[in-house]
Amino acid sequence: MMGEATARGPPRGESDHQPPLLTMKRGYEVLRYPHLNKGLAFTLEERQKLNIHGLLPPCFLSQDVQVLRVLRNFERQASDLDRYILLMSLQDRNEKLFYKVLISDIERFMPIVYTPTVGLACQQYGIAFRRPRGLFITPHDCGHIATLLKSWPEPVIKAIVVTDGERILGLGDLGCYGMGIPVGKLALYTACGGMKPQECLPVMLDVGTDNEELLKDPLYIGLKHKRIRGQAYDDLLDEFMQAVTSRFGRNCLIQFEDFANANAFRLLNKYRDQYCTFNDDIQGTASVAVAGLLAALRITNNKLSDHTILFQGAGEAALGIANLIIMAMEKEGTPKDEAAQKIWMVDSKGLIVKGRASLTTEKKRFAHQHDEKKNLEDIVNDLKPTVLIGVAAIGGAFTKNILKDMASFNKRPIIFALSNPTSKAECSAEDCYHLTEGRGIFASGSPFNPVTLPDGRKFVPGQGNNAYVFPGVALGVVACGMKHISEEIFLTTAEVIAQLVSQEHLKEGRLYPPLSLIRDVSLKIAVKIAEQAYKDNTATFYPEPEDKEAFIQSQIYSTDYESFLTDSYTWPKEAMKIQTGKF
């Protein structure tokens, strides 16, 4: 069912891939409902049956021709923001066509609907805003959030992405403008993982903003007051989580996105054993970063525990990656405490060392005996790390001197500039490859163009995009009905991604499979998660499917248009003549 509007009809015959779609909607309702709308691809019979005959031009265009028209319009746009608005407007009108376009060239369109363009779109959300998507929940809704959730037209929701907009990418507090992130994430749930879009729900918890520019902006669409914190904030989160599971079930996946450090770890630790939830900035980023490191080990030909790792940044991304690295080292046989000693961190106050004041519990784990230092160049020279990871959103933090130094004491330095968007990247792919004489093993959070060195060697930089992780994790978790998501799932995901990087990819400089293969990557992740879930009895969907890959594939969203016709109705011959052009 799609709300109370649609349902599957009886099978039409063995030649059809799927039974027809039945809907109670008629007339303009059909054309304005993105789950149903096919534009000029509605056949004459469908137009007459759905009472939309005459509401469309007397022309019939296939979905492939519609894709071509979208592509031509896309190419005519003057900027990436205009292209973003074009695609989001298409999503509002015709969902299947939107995803058909995305999947037709995922490498081309992902930077538009996700990083880096989505960051600019969030900053300009007051201008880009066309039609509300998802639910906006505020502290004023406390006491009746469950009722508010019932206003959502889809009764079956299997995945939610929620943000409070306080730490959008590396851009900071964007308040209600941050809704572009859950919308973009869920678009990738479908485009990269095959989740059904009508079963996904973006949510903005608007608790205000501390961004003075937004509070003064007449186009700002959120609450115009400072952020609510403390008990009132926690009460809102508690009621939201309870209302979601009450409305959509204990198996509803809730992905936390772009919460500030002060809340991210706290909420993850609070809810992870009560709900089916994960934090993408902590666990998703960790998984994709560790996947890149595991792939890099195939170039350096050693173990993860042989490396000294230095983080520029000590927030949720850095701590999430570090903790998963420790888990991966443990799997190699290195004791947990010994593994932690191999990881160093630099925050806004400098190198994290023992005895430094005001360290959080999470940071203390990586505070080692050392003199206090603040300058990153000095810290790199002193510690001589083999791996340098940037996740502090400080553009250009990896200076030319740092890159040259990394190359001077490492045969193959591993350098990850993971901050988003591109303007916040710690270094460019070009600088890394040139300044390390092509010996640098590079990955970034945002896409960079291929780099050709003076000697003719060409490198294709790997993009450590969380889109390699969360769509596949969501697909696997939802498919087998998991109630809780363990850290082991993210290490398993990292291993799957790394295994899918071929030797040819490594020679090109890639540490991740090409984005064009991302749907296959997501499927393999989902299958592995399902196998693990049934093995350790964390799955709740029974009976256990014998062929888990076929079972998951059967649930994947099709971007092909569906038919609204049934064999029980025969249209007049005159109408068929008009449709076929044979008079």
DSSP string, 139-186: GGGTT-HHHHHHTSS-S---EEEEE-SSSBTTTB--GGGGGHHHHHHH
Q: Active site includes 216?
A: no
Nearest to 426 by CA among 382, 360, 377: 377
| CB-based contact 410:386 (threshold 8 Å) | yes
Residue carrying the six token digits 């899918």: 500
Residue with tokens 């230092």: 373
Q: Give how far Cα 306 sits from Cα of 121, 300, 370, 496, Å.
A: 42, 10, 20, 22
Q: Which residues contact 514 (CB under 8 A, 6 or more apart)?
A: 107, 505
- Tell me how many degrees the CA angle 212-214-218 measures, rounded to the nearest 5: 125
**Given 25, 100, 158, 185, which residue is catalytic?**
185
* 114 classed as catalytic: yes
Peptide bond into 11 cis (omega under 30): no
Q: How far apart are CA 284 and CA 300, in angstroms?
A: 24
What single-letter DSSP state applies at residue 423? G
Q: Which two tokens stand for residue 403?
A: 């890159």
Residues 6+ apart with CB under 8 A from 248: 149, 156, 157, 158, 160
Q: Tokens 């990083």 identify what position? A: 115
- Angle 289-293-298 from CA coordinates, rounded to 5°: 150
Cα–Cα distance for residue pair 463/457, rounded to 1 Å? 19
> Among 33, 99, 114, 189, which one carries the catalytic annotation?
114
Is 77 strand, coil or helix?
coil
Residue corresponding to tokens 């791996």: 387
**CA dist list (Å): 412 to 344, 378, 409, 433:** 19, 20, 9, 11
Query: Cα-atom radius of gyration of the chain, to the nearest Å?
Result: 25
CA 426 to chain centre: 21
- Exposed, middle or buried, 112 (CB in 10 Å: 0-12/13-18/19+)? buried
d(CA 365, CA 368): 8
Contact 508, 438 (CB under 8 A): no
Q: Which residues are catalytic?
A: 114, 185
